[in-house]
Structure 1
Amino acid sequence: MPKNRVLICLVNFLIAALMGLTLRYVSVNPIAINYRFLTHAHSHVAMLGWAYLMLYTLFSYYFVSENKLIYTKLFWVTQIAVIGMMISFPLQGYAAISIGFSTLHIFCSYYFVYLIWKDLHIQNILVKHVVKASLIFMVLSTFGVWCLGPAVGLLGQASAFYQIAIQFFLNFQFNGWFLLGVVAIACHQLQIEWSENAKAFFKYIILATILTFALPIQWFANHLLLYWINGLGIFLQIVSLYYFIKIIKPKFQTFKDNSPKLVIRMYQFSLGCFITKIALQTLSIIPQFSSELFEHHNFIIGFIHLTMLGVISGFLFAFLIQSKTIQPSPYISIGLPLFLLGFILTETILFIQGAFYYLGIGLLPNYYLILFVVSMLLPVSIALILISYFKQKHYGTETS
């Protein structure tokens, strides 16, 4: 595994976590920062500096037969775009410089898709299909970004068009590119073969990813048809989960017998978060809850973090440990459980507070302070993992 690339990804993740902690601190003790600008920076660095670049690294490592220099060069150009967004978003929000770096990142992603598609070397049919689908969704998601300029110019930032364009990007980044990306690598690691059940899983998860986009559209353009489309998407998502469990279950016992306990636990944790994500999405078939969901910020943030930290980051850490890129150490023994604890506590508090707001109960006592304190576990845990990685003498398969 390319050690320098993984190191950069972990540093990006730490910076994103520190930005997130700063956002929590503002609610406890207001400081002179632009909250919205920092939110943009936090989300872009987490998504594009951590999840995107880690998938970039893993895809080029597992699915390309030859270690080509172009992948290293493109990685560093993409990282320059991330650094540009990291600096410019907190200072100016969406403006000329930050938009320029965002655009650079998009063009880098297009070139990455072209390279991977051309160099793809995968014998497993299921893995090949899921990898290609994830890349298609990544490109598709960027269409939402290209719509933002016309949306602002024609209708303004408060328009339904603008908000739907943002949700289009987020939906197909998270549920398309990121989620299918980690599923592809998990299927590769578990050696899941093509079968009728695998074919059914692939078909239903693709349809579900497309159809469940009806929910965020419904928040801004309420229509009964969108409710039913989302309901069908949720149903197909549950069906896809059924087939996913069916295809991994026979392989998982063999995997458990031949893998370290830490790897097994990370897989179990990530799969548990994946199941929880689908279970929570199922609640959107309740009409009143579905229509009011967007108004409850805690539910939205909690769900995004469940996907980003629980499912995606959980799997990414599992892959890094499984490949021996991250190796057991005292720092890992403390850092990884702290990460999981911080995630579970912040999610619990966010969803409890969301339920309180929804039921009209009000604010939890010392809610913002408690959330800030438990959120400290996340950057601390990532820092410990980063220190452990930096101090390692061996990094699995070492490449530049």
Structure 2
Amino acid sequence: MLSNIVSKNKAMENAVLHKTAQYYAKWALANFFVLALAGALLRYLQLFSLPINYQFLLHAHSHFAFSAWMFLVIMLLFYKALSPSLTKDFQFQFKGLFALTILISYGMLVSFFFTGYQTLSIVLSALFVFATYWGSALILKSGFFKANRHIANILLIGALICLLLSSLGPYVLAYFRAKGFENSAQQNAIYFYLHFQLNGFMQLASIGFLLRAYWRNVRNTTRLKFWMWLLVVSTFPLYAMFLLWHVPSVWMYLLTGVAALLHLAAWLVILFKFIRECETPTFLIGMALIAITLQLVFQCLVALPQLGAWAFASRNLIIGYVHLLTLGSLTPIFLDLMSKASLIKTSAILNRLLMATVIAYLGLLFVPVCLASFGIYIPNLGLLLFTTNLILPVLALVYLLQNIKYKQTQNIKLNLFID
């Protein structure tokens, strides 16, 4: 009798935790819609005139992407992993973290949109940095890495290290601006933050949770651990790739090339082993795996001096690289993992429409630049980019609308996070 009561109470508590995760997953989808809308507006401003400051909107778009979409979803995945054993205190703190992240995100969206890098925007950006500290502390204090010993935890540890390390970028940037350092030094500080957020924290975390979700019976061999750690460690010197625009020296190209090759080698070893042994991945995950591989190959090509100089001279290639990571790999992984954990629901048609749009958009960013090298130019490219980009907020809105009333209370899927 007592065991039945305890079991029922535990089931009810898990249901409450799951409901909380679902609630903030809907917020994440709403943020994804706002983010896609802002991206489409940026493309519109490149074609038509509106009384909107393009740079202000660009800063608002990027800060909102990092905080309201990618950081929030990753923290939700950690929360879902921990939810069966979270104490009341940790539950309360995670809810506070989610609410604060959303509040700061919309604050930055508005402040950057209207004022750019002014006092309020800087204060809110600093608050977000401290929110990342809070999230990291919660994960470490909760005993996540002691209770869950999947080999992919190596990537999640690396992700948190990169998250904390990325915060040095804003501090150094503030110092450089206060001391009047040249613009190139300030740009390097910004790239430091971007690299350790995107290629470090976000990509390592997404791959880590992907492996935990689909690679259930992996053996923790010393050899595999080596490749996991190499994927993490090679991320650090890969920052040199972002310095090539400013310091295109032989040593910088060599450092970038070695780091990029090691990064790609580690990924390919993990990928091939994953494909051989894992549960069959979904369409979204399959597309994400291709995108990650292409991104890492791109990094190796940039290490070749002529190709590197050509890539950094093209704004569309740089934008394409960033969106290959954010739209090509992170977004499909996030949508798939939240669906697998019953936090949201998706449909095969909608997922395929999303990835078809992403492929079309990336193709319009990469292919015309390559063709231009041979004197071939695509007419009305800006209009094509805007039209394609405009589909993304529509699809994001459909994801949101089909989840507003979604509730999954039976057979709650915890397999995403069980060793």
TM-score (norm 2): 0.88
Separation in structure 2 between the aligned mates of residue 102 and residue 198 of structure 1, nearest angstrom = 38
Is residue 2:234 matched to residue 1:208?
yes
Is residue 2:360 matched to residue 1:345?
yes
Aligned residue number for residue 151 of structure 1: 176
Aligned residue number for residue 391 of structure 1: 405
Aligned residue number for residue 260 of structure 1: none
1:118 Cα shift? 1.0
Which one of 124, 127, 139 corresponds to residue 149 of structure 2?
124
Conserved 8 A contact 1:13-1:45: no
1:249 Cα shift? 2.5
Aligned residue number for residue 176 of structure 1: 200
Separation in structure 1 between the aligned mates of residue 351 and residue 150 of structure 2, nearest angstrom = 33
Is residue 2:325 matched to residue 1:307?
yes
Matched to 1:345, the amino acid is A
Matched to 1:70, the amino acid is Q
Separation in structure 2 between the aligned mates of residue 394 and residue 3 of structure 1, nearest angstrom = 9
3-state SS of the aligned residue for 2:236?
helix
Is residue 2:44 matched to residue 1:44?
no
Matched to 1:339, the amino acid is L
3-state SS of the aligned residue for 1:31?
coil
3-state SS of the aligned residue for 1:361?
coil
- Spell out, residue by residue over 1:71-112, the C-alpha distance to the aligned partner (whole angstroms, 9 max, x if none): 001211121110110110110111101111111111111011
With 311-320 and 242-251 compared, the bigger mean Cα shift is at 242-251
- After TM superposition, the structure 1 = structure 2 runs for residues 1-400 of structure 1, keeping only pairs within 5 Å, are 1=18, 2-63=21-82, 65-66=85-86, 68-121=91-144, 122-156=147-181, 159-189=183-213, 190-191=215-216, 192-252=218-278, 255-256=279-280, 264-328=282-346, 332-357=347-372, 359=373, 361=375, 363-394=377-408, 397=412
Matched to 2:45, the amino acid is V
Separation in structure 2 between the aligned mates of residue 334 and residue 366 of structure 1, nearest angstrom = 29
Separation in structure 2 between the aligned mates of residue 59 and residue 244 of structure 1, nearest angstrom = 22
TM-score (norm 1): 0.92
With 243-252 and 368-377 compared, the bigger mean Cα shift is at 243-252
Matched to 1:120, the amino acid is G
Separation in structure 2 between the aligned mates of residue 362 and residue 146 of structure 1, nearest angstrom = 44
Conserved 8 A contact 2:169-2:189: yes
Change (3 A) 1:355 1:377: same
1:241 Cα shift? 1.6
- Percent sequence identity is 25
Specify the structure having the higher radius of gyration (Cα).
Answer: 2
Q: Which has the higher contact order (CA 8 A, sep 6+)?
A: 2
- Spell out, residue by residue over 1:167-194, the C-alpha distance to the aligned partner (whole angstroms, 9 max, x if none): 1001110111001101111121122342
Separation in structure 2 between the aligned mates of residue 327 and residue 125 of structure 1, nearest angstrom = 26
Separation in structure 2 between the aligned mates of residue 237 and residue 268 of structure 1, nearest angstrom = 20
1:353 Cα shift? 2.5
Q: Runs of 5+ in structure 1 lacking a partner?
A: 257-262
Change (3 A) 1:336 1:180: same
Change (3 A) 1:345 1:43: same
Conserved 8 A contact 1:85-1:98: yes
With 9-18 and 347-356 compared, the bigger mean Cα shift is at 347-356
Separation in structure 2 between the aligned mates of residue 193 and residue 77 of structure 1, nearest angstrom = 39
3-state SS of the aligned residue for 2:378?
coil
- Spell out, residue by residue over 1:106-129, the C-alpha distance to the aligned partner (whole angstroms, 9 max, x if none): 111101111101113343252332
Matched to 1:280, the amino acid is F
3-state SS of the aligned residue for 2:49?
coil
1:363 Cα shift? 4.7
Separation in structure 2 between the aligned mates of residue 250 and residue 272 of structure 1, nearest angstrom = 16
